Amino acid sequence: MHVAPDELAAELRADAEAGSAQEAQAQVNAEIAAAVDQARAAPGVAVATGSYDVWRVTDPKPAWHASQSMSLHSRDGTALLALLGALQAKSLALGGLSWRLSPDLADRMRAEATRQALAALRGRAVAAADVLGLRFDSFKDIRIEATRPGPVMPRAMMMAKATAPEPVAASEDLDVTATIEAEAVLQPKP
């Protein structure tokens, strides 16, 4: 099945470099706190913070680096893109942007793909039995595998500078599949 994605997801990151770990972390903490507050104020946008890393480098000069990621997702792609543009203007780096199916839509589409695959399997078993001069009786050892579609990267995406416009994300349909394997029990026609 081809399904139009209904949720846009983004990964952002705040990075800082300073002479001490404390200074670098303070900068990242302030940037992420402000970004989380701004994201929570945007209707329909879900936000979560992610990995936090601090490390020291010595070349070309000694310095401390701090970095933290945050993820955002929304069914309102236009609103999320506007928020991303605003966050990019505040020096957050956009590390990923993709369309995906929301969990409830993905579950419904996997169930529908499974239903269609089972119907197709039954039709093939009945047709095969007919060609062989037999009748379809039942299935045994049925194996069902329904895949969850992965995200699709937008066809057009800009990494914005502080004065650049918000990013662009054009979507395309995602494939939702179900694979059914079974042994068909065929019997002689009465």
pTM of the model: 0.78
Question: Residue written as tokens 């990019």?
Answer: 88
Predicted confidence (pLDDT) per residue in 82-130, tens digit: 999 999 999 999 999 999 999 999 999 999 999 999 999 999 999 999 9
Give the model's pLDDT for residue 138. 94
Placement of tokens 């895949």 in the chain = 147
Confidence class for position 43, pLDDT limits 50, 70, 90 = very high
| Residue 37 backbone zone (phi > 0: left; psi -120 to 50: alpha; other: beta) | alpha
Q: For the domain with range 2-104+145-180, which CATH number is right: 3.30.1330, 3.30.70, 3.20.20, 3.40.50?
A: 3.30.70
Bridge partners for 48 per DSSP: 71
pLDDT for position 156: 42
Domain ranges of the chain: 2-104+145-180
* Burial of 83 per CB tally in 10 Å (0-12, 13-18, 19+): buried
